[in-house]
Structure formats: C-alpha cells, structure tokens
Amino acid sequence: MRRDYVTLDLRNADQDGDHLPTAVLTYEGPTDLLEERLTDAGGEPLDREAIDVAFRFQTATDDADADGVFSLTNRVTGEFIVEVNADAASVRDLVDAARRDDDPEDADGCYRVDVRRDGEQVASYEKRTLLVYDDEGGLLRQHSLIPSGVEL
C-alpha cells in the first residue's frame, strides 16, 4: 500500500485535554486493499491485540525537522496494514499526551488509532503501546509507550 494514499492527523494531543489522544489515518486508495489488510485470514476484522503501532525515524532523532514513518502492522503476519510519512514532533506530541493519563491501568488504552475512508470510520483501536525506532532500527525506549511489565 502506498504511503501517499494515507494522511495522518492527530487529535486531542494536548496535555490538558479530557479526550483520548487519537491518531486519525485517512485512507484514499483502493477500497478492497484496505479491507483486505484490516481483516484476518478468516475474513474477520482485526482486533486491537492483532495490531502493532510503530514509528521509525528516517532522519537523525535529534534533527529539528525529524521525520519518519508511522505504521500499523498485523502482529500475526508482520505485514504492514497502513503506513504514512509523519513528522517526529507530531508523534512525540501523541506519546506525551498518551502519558498524561492519571491511571492507565483503568483505561482500555492510553491513545486511539482511527482508520477512516470516505469520511467514515472503518476501524478503531485503543492502544497502550507505541514503539519508536531510530533510523537504524534500534528501539528508543525513552520515546516509546511501553506499559509496565511488558518485556521486549
């Protein structure tokens, strides 16, 4: 799936907001391709446990205008579902807003990812983990959302 089919918009990523921070992925490519990627081998919609969310820098992490790729991946197959070019500052804002939750153990997720097509939501996942990688593929724990007790 081409990255130019997708745009990323962050909502409620302010530290003072009362709503779950949300990454909205708007898809404008072939409909059947998106539907195929959002379902499992049996044709059932993928649930939040089957989805991994990650951001990988394409530039040095300390660049003022650093950017990278924000992606949803099928945890079972390892295949990309959706990926989009994104600026690192926006992803940092999402991570910071997700960390503001007073009691993350009570929440289903500390941020949400919505996938939209033709103005309608086609999938929504509440997540607690967002892995951030440097431009060489090394995990950046300090920039990632990793729930306590999770071993990587």
Predicted local distance difference test score (pLDDT) of residue 124? 96
The H or E element that residue 94 is part of is: helix 88-99
Predicted local distance difference test score (pLDDT) of residue 64? 86
- Cα distance between residue 129 and residue 126, in whole Å: 10
The whole domain housing 94 covers: 3-51+72-128
- Cα distance between residue 81 and residue 84, in whole Å: 10
Residue 121 lies in a domain: yes
What is the count of structural domains for the chain?
1
Residue 38 lies in a domain: yes
Residue 144 lies in a domain: no
Instruction: Give per-residue pLDDT as tens, 60-97.
Output: 988 889 999 999 999 999 999 999 999 999 999 999 88
- Least confident residue range of 86-95, 105-114, 119-128: 105-114
Residue 65 lies in a domain: no
Residue 10 lies in a domain: yes
